[in-house]
Each structure stands twice: as C-alpha cells, then as structure tokens.
Amino acid sequence: MNLESSVIDCHPASAPDYMAVSELNNLQLQRLRAVTTLAWDHVKLFRGRMDERNIQPKDIRSLEDIAQLPFTTKADLRDTYPFGLFATSMKDVVRLHASSGTTGKPIVVAYTQKDIDVWTSVLVRCFSGCGLHRGDIMQIAYGYGLFTGGLGAHYGAEGLGATVVPTSGGNADRQIMLMKDFGVTAMCCTPTYFLHLIDRAAEMGVDMKELPLRAGVFGAEPWTESMRAHIQKMSNIEAFDIYGLSEIIGPGVGCECRRHQGLHIFEDHFYPEIIDPETGATLPEGCEGELVLTTLSKQAMPMIRYRTRDITRILSGQCECGRTLRRIDRIGRRSDDMLIIRGVNVFPSQVETALLQIKGTLPHYQILLTRNQGLDQMEVRVEVTPQMFNDKIGALQELHRKLQSALDHVLGIRVRVALVEANSIERSEGKAKRVIDRRTA
C-alpha cells in the first residue's frame, strides 16, 4: 500500500464532513421540514399517507419526529411507474436513471440540475476520503447508462479534478491494457469485477502489483473483509467500500475513509435510521436492522423514509479520522436476499466468508438451488486454484472435506460442495450473480 497521506482530508468540498454535530442536526431538521413540505405539496402518494395519519409537515418539530412519517418502499416506485413520485415538473428534470428490477418494470429515478450537483459533491467527498485528488487517473468501470454507477462515479471523479478514463464495464483485456498504458491510479467497479480483472491480468502476464494503481473504490454489491484482504494482497492497492442505491441518488450515499471502520453517511443529504424489519420500530444506535434513508435535499424525487432492505447498524462513537458524520457497518446482506433452505435461513455472505478462509479456493462461487421430491437441495460450486486442480487427487479430497465441514458448520445444514476449475464460473461485468434458484422450475 503506497497511498500518500497529504492532501487527503483538506479538499474544500469535504468541509461538511467535519461540521459540529449540533450544527449538522440543525441543518438536518431544517432540510427535513423542507423536503417533507415539498413531497406533501407535490407527491400524491405521500400526501395521501400523511393525511391518513393526520399529520402535516408543520408537525415535524424535531429530528425524532421523523418516526411519525410513513415509509416508502420499492413497491411504491413500481406502482407509480414511471413518473408518479416526481415532485418537480418534467422541464426541471435534467436526467433519468433506471434500475432493473428482478421482476417486471424497472424503477425510474429523476434528477434536477441541483440534484446532479449534490450527487457530484457527495462523490467528491467519497473520493477525497479515499485519499484521491487532482492528479489521480481514475478508471470508471461501473456500467454507464441507466445504471447509476458509471455516470455517478464519472461526475464525482471529474468534480474532484481527477483525470477520468470512462471505460464502463466489459472487455477485461482492454481494461487491463488501459490501466497499464495510462498509468491508472484508481479503479472504480464492482468488487467481483475487479477480482476478474486480477485473474485476467495474471493470465495476460501483467503483474497488478507493479502497476501505479493504488486505490479501488468498490461497491454496488455485498462483499466481505476476506474479499478485501484477497484483493489487497493480489493487487497491492487500498480497497474502499462505497454504498448507494438508485432510489436515494446512486453511489455516494456513504463511503469508507482511510480508517476503514465503517462507511460514513453523507448525513447532510441523507438521513439514516435503523428499523426492525418485522415491526418497523426504530432501533437504537448499535442495533442491527434495516437501513431506512430520507433524502434531505433532493428536488426531483424526494424519498421519505425509504426502506432499503439493506441490513446494517449505525456504529457508535466518532471515527478517528475526525469526520463527524455517522458511520454504518459494511452491508453484508439484504433482508430479502435471505434464502430459506429446508427451513433454515442462509445468506450468501455466510458462504463467502466460510469459503475464503480455506486455502486453495478462489473467491468465485455460485449457489445452485434445486428441489427434489419437495426437498430443497443446495449446491455450492467453488473455484479452486490451478495449482490445487493440478495437484494430487488426495489434496483435492482434503480441500473438499474442509469446505464441507466449514459450510456444514456455518450454515447448520448439509449442502453439496462441488470443486470446479478456475474460470469455469461465468464472470459478470457488474453485480455478480451468486444464486441460481431453480426450485420453481
């Protein structure tokens, strides 16, 4: 790791990261009132729900009063497709993005010019918190287009003053060639795509550790500490976790700083709460639950108490970096990606953590679910290192035994383990597809 520690925390755009908490809370309350008024005045669905509860924006007198406001869910976005939750007229909307739903219609999100400026500013704060600055050469390999990753990171990197290489996703060989030829110093993509680039670079005879690359800003999907360790070891970079979702703005709702002790939420624009996903009750700081976010400054499509389905907790205490912004824990799972296998709750992240602790495996795996005579079957396919594959059969059997016992232990159910050759699991340019569910087929 060779990041310089100068410049880092003194980018002028980062000033709000250090605001006194009382000042921040005043600003949040003032903005909460304004955004509630905007939604009440212009969004029918929100007005209706407020009326049902017999409350009005003027009833918001303190930040705690947010708990009186109704939740918004992904279903609300689908039901009002495409433009039903917009609070401004279309002539003020300068950009639309959409996120592909797993079923049916996508969800649509809108931005005014001011929303784009806010989005850019939070990404500038993300990147400068990662130690990046003018002079860095940043390759953006998140998908450009309707997905918020590419354009979001692009504007942020330009706002920072960095040199942007807008490769979008795909064509790994070209990505690696440009990283090398342009002297790229920071990479922005999904963590699984970066893993793929590491493998491909090795095959091409390019040593990632020898490149000027020193940082990676990875997000859009859950990843683990073990994956971070693997990435850092294989490429000699500092890997940062960035979080966001289209409904709120896109990437840049929160990001790690160089302390890597949770992700700072840009609380002057996005107000976080943690709730019990079953009851909807607000949980105290430190408790794990579902993250709920309210946009405090969004104009085109304000979101009030949006239920993200992402499971995390708000970390207590202030970060050693000096930022006053609260932090959330790394998001390991969603409340709705839980698999129920023969009655037992299984999260893909548990599988990943177990696998990566065993030497000889690669961080590429897939879970295949089938149903046989009414009984769920789960198979975990794991790639093993080429050395392991070419080694004696005894070594593979031993690895298989270790994996089987680690998975039995962590999951509490018997699963089938299949060891497969390196590169045999299909790679994704964006979010990895970890689970193939054929149970209804």
Q: Give yes or no for residue 221 binding ligand DLL (CB under 6 A).
A: yes
Among 172, 331, 355, 411, binds ligand DLL (CB under 6 A): 331
In the bound state with ligand DLL, the residue whose beta carbon lies nearer, of 348 and 360, is: 348
Give the 3-state secondary structure of residue 382: strand
In the bound state with ligand DLL, the residue whose beta carbon lies nearer, of 255 and 417, is: 255
d(CA 209, CA 395): 29
Among 267, 310, 383, 429, binds ligand DLL (CB under 6 A): 310
- Helix boundaries (H) for 183-305: 191-203, 225-235
How many Cβ atoms from other residues are within 10 Å of residue 321's Cβ?
18
d(CA 342, CA 330): 28
In the bound state with ligand DLL, the residue whose beta carbon lies nearer, of 231 and 245, is: 245
Among 16, 159, 169, 244, binds ligand DLL (CB under 6 A): 244
In the bound state with ligand DLL, the residue whose beta carbon lies nearer, of 46 and 119, is: 119
- Contact track, ligand DLL, 81-110, x by CB under 6 A: ------------------x-----------
* Closest residue to ligand DLL in the complex (CB): 219
Rg (CA), the chain: 22
d(CA 376, CA 180): 47
Q: How far is the CB of 10 from ligand DLL (least distance, A)?
A: 25
How many Cβ atoms from other residues are within 10 Å of residue 285's Cβ?
11
Cα atoms in the 13 Å half-sphere on the side-chain side of 378: 25
Q: Give yes or no for residue 73 binding ligand DLL (CB under 6 A).
A: no
Q: How far is the CB of 158 from ligand DLL (least distance, A)?
A: 16
Q: Which stretch binds ligand DLL (CB under 6 A): 198-206, 235-243, 357-365, 409-417?
A: 235-243
Please state, in angstroms and as integers, the Cα–Cα distance from residue 321 to each residue in 157, 272, 324, following that order.
Answer: 22, 20, 9
Among 35, 124, 187, 220, binds ligand DLL (CB under 6 A): 220
Among 308, 349, 361, 366, binds ligand DLL (CB under 6 A): 308
Contacts of 107 (CB under 8 A, 6+ apart): 74, 77, 78, 81, 98, 99, 101, 246, 247
Residues 123 and 74 sit within 8 Å (Cβ to Cβ):
no
| Token pair 């708000």 in the structure block, residue | 314
Among 111, 243, 270, 347, binds ligand DLL (CB under 6 A): 243
Count of residues interacting with ligand DLL (CB under 6 A): 20
Which residues does residue 382 pair with via DSSP β-bridges, in sequence order?
A: 365, 419
d(CA 194, CA 139): 12
d(CA 249, CA 226): 28
Q: Give yes or no for residue 245 binding ligand DLL (CB under 6 A).
A: yes
In the bound state with ligand DLL, the residue whose beta carbon lies nearer, of 251 and 289, is: 251
Residue 124 CA, chain-centre distance (Å), reads 17
Among 334, 341, 367, 429, binds ligand DLL (CB under 6 A): 334
Find the binding residues for ligand DLL in span 120-149 (CB under 6 A): 142, 148-149
Say which amino acid occupies 171: N
Q: Which stretch binds ligand DLL (CB under 6 A): 199-207, 245-253, 280-288, 297-305?
A: 245-253
Q: Give yes or no for residue 429 binding ligand DLL (CB under 6 A).
A: no
Q: How far is the CB of 171 from ligand DLL (least distance, A)?
A: 19
Q: Give yes or no for residue 192 binding ligand DLL (CB under 6 A).
A: no
Please state, in angstroms and as integers, the Cα–Cα distance from residue 38 to each residue in 47, 59, 90, 304, following that order.
Answer: 10, 14, 15, 11
Interaction site with ligand DLL (CB under 6 A): 99, 142, 148-149, 219-222, 241-246, 250-251, 308, 310, 331, 334
